[in-house]
Every structure is written in structure tokens, then in C-alpha cells.
Structure 1
């Protein structure tokens, strides 16, 4: 995997309307967050966990390393991220940002306009949890999309080199490392985010299923996850085919060594029989 970790973010900017909704950035700050240990006293809700972060401010903290901050100033955000550090496994350093807006609009639930504004009919804890879940999944997908593009760029010349020359040295070892990266990425995506799974919150609040479905569709979560799966599968098959080719060439070389040894043995035997064997 890359030596310098990456952090992705979808920033939610304040709405231009008068009825401002609580907004803030969504960040991927590390591999994992111990949500059980963080925010016990100020917890507003679970699944995902929503904690109070001051007057009219809140943060959603998700176990797979994502945080979505609502209605917080840059100083508030920095303070909360600093408070989270002891609970973060393998913290990241840098992030990319995407922008969106949350705005109130009576009778409208979940559409996202061309400018990236998410419309909610009202602001409730449960709706903020839904928004946080979708933003967090989108941020993680963006992280893996960039990571996978980097792996793809590295594995293609290795596979081409092995297919053309069949070298067994540095290219083979590098290709094995890339296969390990891909397998680790698949494991993390399946066990970490569960993009295709609906949040547990919907079991208790089925009336929010439409909101979740619309946001899931607007942010193309399932389509992006399937695209990542296809690319991961392609990389795995490309690497496996290249390694099979490499192994076959090594096997063929060994077989030729055996044939040569047999020929040498036969020549030596003939020479012995011709010149060295005792004459009767």
C-alpha cells in the first residue's frame, strides 16, 4: 500500500437559505475509530454514533475511520479531531475535499441538486445520521478509488514486463506485493464499510428508507462500489495470469534442464561404452 497515507473528505458547506441546517465536513481520519471508548457522556444516538460537540453542534463518528461534523467552526473541528486522536488506529495525515450543502425545504426529502445541495424536510438526529452515513461511505469510496488507481498504474507495467520478458527477479517480487495490496484492499472494503448494506437505523425508522435510498442513489454508492469490485477483480486476474505465465516459464526451463542432463548422461554413457568399457 502507499507509504504516505491519504485522507478523503466530503465537505458540507452552510446553505444559503435563511433556515440553515447543521453542516460541516465529513473526514476519513484513519483506518478505524474506537467508537465504544469515545463520546460516552455526550452520546446523542448510535448506529452511527452521534455525539454532542457543543451548543447546536454535533459529530457523527463511524468505526471505519470516518467523522462527519455538523455546524462546527474550523477551531471546533480541529479540537474534536484532536480529542479523537487517542481512539484512532493508523491516523491519516492529508485529505482531499468534495463540497456539498445541506438545506431545509418543506416537503422535500433527500434530493441533491446540480450544485451539490442536499435537501431535507426537517432536521432531526435520525436524518443527520442518515446524511452522515452516506457522506462517510462516499468519502471511503473516494479514498479507495484513488488508491486503486494508484495500484492499477503500478501493476500494469509489471504485468507487461513479465509477459514480455518472463524475468523472475524484481518484477516477480513486486507483482506479488501488488497482489497482496489488492487482497488487503478487498478485505478492508468488504469488512470495513459494507457499502451495499443499509444502516441499522432503518430497522427502527423505516420512514427514512426513502431518504437513504435517494441519497445512496445521488452519491452513486452502489455503482461506485461495483466499479471498484470489477477493477479489483481485473487486477487480481491480471496479476494471477502474469504469475502463471512466469511460473510456466520457470517450469519449462526446469524441464529443459532435465532433458539436457539426460542427454549429457546418455552421451557420457555412450563415450564410456565406446572408449572406456573393458573389451571382451
Structure 2
């Protein structure tokens, strides 16, 4: 039985693949749809030692990294340190917060077997490592986004508590910051992680397409994406409510100012007519 091990980590919100490819001497322009694969001589030059040909690292533009057959934690640390030179905002202290380990086994079996920890296939196909890596990369990136959504929910809950206590004034900057966080979450989920997009190989091979669809279903990526979209819509509705209240309060304040100015003008006019003031 042949084994492949995978370790997926969400390290940041975005990785500039073209910058890394240029540094590695890879003459190719990468798009969002494809990962940058480091292997062979390139991987050896980064690690500073000989590397088994079975090892590789896949970098995804939406901030995830997948290590294939890297059982040595020291090698992973060296590679992450190398990536930090391109993405300084990476927090290496909490790097394993959004991660997942998985395995691919090739065995004499009649059907494909999917579990939480591994997948068993009857024979090896070249597309298996990349498709598994893609699903894992999207899963951990989605996990990171799900937690960020929880932080936004907590922030809105604080604002709702203030409303319940009668503190109706909400600053424009506060509303703008919260709205920006929701928009960023929406962008990271739909436009950048590209949950609904399929790798190019799946359009060329029906076997690859079938395998990818099974992996996506097993990891519930589409369902998780729908839940996130639904929660995001709720957040937008809450923000709209806050904005309506805030604008109403400001409009009422302006109306009272106008009324007070009119009253002052009337009092001054009457006083002048009555001779109370020159």
C-alpha cells in the first residue's frame, strides 16, 4: 500500500504567488485558480539539504499552504519562515491554529473510501495529490474565515447591548469599520477562497471531476459556504438597522436645532417689536 501524507495550514489572508515564483526562478504568471508547487531543486534550495522527490509544497493565493509527505516539523518551520519573508504579517506563534492532517492510501480495493483522516483509492492517479491539497486548503481557509465571522458577531452583539441600554448613538467610524469587516469576510469567502470554483484538471478528466466532487461533499465545503453566506446576509441586515437608527437620530437632532433657532429668531423679533431690546 502506497501512502501520501498532507498537512494543510491557513497562514494568512493572501499569498503573492508571483513574487515567490519570481524568487524561485519559475517563469510563469500565476492566477487565483492554480497553486504554486514547490518541489525538487527549488525545495532543496529553500531547505538547504537534499529532499526526497515525493515531497512537495503547494501554495494557494487565498493564504493556505499544503505540505505533502513532510513528517519533519523542522522542515515545515523552515519553509514557513521562508514564506514569512514574503508575507511579514504571518504569525508563526499561532501558525497551527487553522490546520488539518490527511492521508492518501493506494490499496487494492474495489471502491473509493473516504474518512475524516484518510482516503483510500484502488490505483494512483496524478491528480490525487493536487485535488486533495486544494480541498484541504479551502477547508482550513474556510475555518479561519468562520472564526473571523464569530468575532464580527461578538462585535455586533456588543452594539446591540448598547442599544438595549438606551445608548442609541453609533458613530459613523464605528459603523464603517464594522461594515468593512463584513465586506472583507464576504470577499475572502466568495471571491478569494473560490469555494464554488473547480480546478482546471476537473474539466479535462471526468475521473478527476468525480473525485473532487466527492471530496467537496465529504468536507461539506458547499454547505459551510452557504451557511456563511446566510450569516453574512443577517449581518448586513443588522448593520442596515444600525444605520437607519443612527441616521434617524441625527435627522431628529438637526430638526430640533432648526426648531430652536426658529424659536430664538421669534423671541428676538418679538423683543425688538416690544422695545425690550434696541
Kindly provide the CA deviation profile for residues 22-43 of structure 1, in whole angstroms up to 9, marking residues without a partner as x.
10310112233333433556x9
User: What is the match of residue 68 of structure 1?
Assistant: 66
**What is the TM-score when the length of structure 2 is the normalising length?**
0.80
- Superposition RMSD in Å: 2.6
Conservation of the 8 A alpha-carbon contact between 2:203 and 2:209: no
User: How far 1:131 moved relative to its partner?
Assistant: 0.2
Distance (whole Å) between structure 1 residues aligned to residue 211 and residue 277 of structure 2: 94
After superposing the two structures, state which structure 1 stretch, 142-151 or 58-67, moved more. Answer: 58-67
After superposing the two structures, state which structure 1 stretch, 76-85 or 177-186, moved more. Answer: 76-85
Q: Secondary structure at the match of 2:162?
A: helix
Q: Secondary structure at the match of 1:261?
A: helix
Is 1:22 aligned to residue 7 of structure 2? no
User: What is the match of residue 15 of structure 1?
Assistant: none
User: What is the match of residue 119 of structure 1?
Assistant: 120
Q: Pick closer, same or farther for the CA change 1:121–1:88 going to 2, 3 Å.
A: farther
Distance (whole Å) between structure 2 residues aligned to residue 32 and residue 112 of structure 1: 30
Conservation of the 8 A alpha-carbon contact between 2:170 and 2:246: yes
Distance (whole Å) between structure 1 residues aligned to residue 167 and residue 213 of structure 2: 50
Is 1:187 aligned to residue 187 of structure 2? yes
Residue correspondence of structure 1 range 61-210 to structure 2 within 5 A: 61-73=59-71, 74-88=73-87, 90-93=89-92, 94=94, 95-96=96-97, 97-105=99-107, 106-109=109-112, 111-113=113-115, 115-162=116-163, 164-168=166-170, 173-210=173-210
Distance (whole Å) between structure 1 residues aligned to residue 88 and residue 218 of structure 2: 30
Kindly provide the CA deviation profile for residues 232-276 of structure 1, in whole angstroms up to 9, marking residues without a partner as x.
221122122112201111111110111122122223322322335
User: What is the match of residue 243 of structure 1?
Assistant: 243
Q: Secondary structure at the match of 2:79?
A: helix
Q: Pick closer, same or farther for the CA change 1:168–1:72 going to 2, 3 Å.
A: closer
> For structure 2, which runs of at least 5 residues remain unmatched after alignment?
44-50
Q: Pick closer, same or farther for the CA change 1:173–1:35 going to 2, 3 Å.
A: closer
Conservation of the 8 A alpha-carbon contact between 1:50 and 1:129: no
Distance (whole Å) between structure 2 residues aligned to residue 121 and residue 48 of structure 1: 26
Kindly provide the CA deviation profile for residues 49-100 of structure 1, in whole angstroms up to 9, marking residues without a partner as x.
3332531212222122211111112233223323333343632331324444
User: How far 1:180 moved relative to its partner?
Assistant: 1.4
Where is the strand percentage greater, Structure 1 or Structure 2? 1
> For structure 1, which runs of at least 5 residues remain unmatched after alignment?
1-18
Residue correspondence of structure 1 range 258-277 to structure 2 within 5 A: 258-275=258-275
Conservation of the 8 A alpha-carbon contact between 1:159 and 1:175: no
Q: Secondary structure at the match of 1:69?
A: strand
After superposing the two structures, state which structure 1 stretch, 95-104 or 200-209, moved more. Answer: 95-104
Q: Secondary structure at the match of 1:24?
A: strand
Is 1:234 aligned to residue 234 of structure 2? yes
Q: Pick closer, same or farther for the CA change 1:127–1:269 going to 2, 3 Å.
A: same
User: How far 1:227 moved relative to its partner?
Assistant: 1.0
User: What is the match of residue 15 of structure 2?
Assistant: 33
Conservation of the 8 A alpha-carbon contact between 2:169 and 2:249: no
In the comparison of the two structures, how many residue pairs are matched? 253
